[in-house]
Amino acid sequence: MKLDVAFEEMLPRPIEAVWSELTDKIAISNWLMATDDFKPAVGCRFRMKALSMDGWVDAEVLEFEHPRRMVWSWSVDDRNPPSKVTFMLARDGAGTRLRLRHVGEFDPVVAGIFRDDWPGRIKALAELIGRAGGTG
């Protein structure tokens, strides 16, 4: 099943603060999935422990343009080709506009999990950023 979902969220923090939460392994573990080997660099291969599914997500940083764009290859298992998750940030007044897109081929059940789970993960990111408070 083809998955092609896009979400957009306005976050009331400077772009550098949002970027920091997107590219820090402790923050990623808090808002997305547990990881201990993520590094913000092209070519970094890392694993994330899926909370809503059994098993792991194997990922790799494909593109990294500080502080605007990051693209990950995302593999759930060997039955599906890797998908792509793209994070794009843009300054918008005093805040930041986050655009997230996830595209790939998945088993229909897995596609449904991703489609339904991304809004909650984005909300968790927004809450984490909100708790960080302050500016910059």
What CATH number should be reported for the domain whose range is 2-132? 3.30.530.20
Contact, 95 vs 11, CB < 8 A?
Answer: yes
Which residues 6+ apart lie within 8 Å of 49 measured at CB? 33, 34, 35, 56, 57
pLDDT tens profile 44-73:
999 999 765 667 899 999 999 999 999 999
Per-domain residue ranges of the chain: 2-132
Helix/strand/coil percent split, the chain, to 5: 30, 40, 30
CA 85 to chain centre: 7
Read off the pLDDT band of 20 (50, 70, 90). very high
Percent of all residues in the chain with a pLDDT value above 90, rounded to a whole number = 74
Least confident of 3-7, 35-39, 47-51, 130-134: 130-134
Half-sphere exposure of 28 (CA within 13 A, CB side): 20
Q: State the virtual CA torsion across 73, 76, 77, 78 in degrees, nearest 10.
A: -30
H or E segment at 95?
strand 95-105
- The pTM (predicted TM-score) of the whole model is 0.91
pLDDT tens profile 103-120:
999 888 888 888 999 999
Contact, 8 vs 120, CB < 8 A?
Answer: no
CA distance 108 to 83: 14
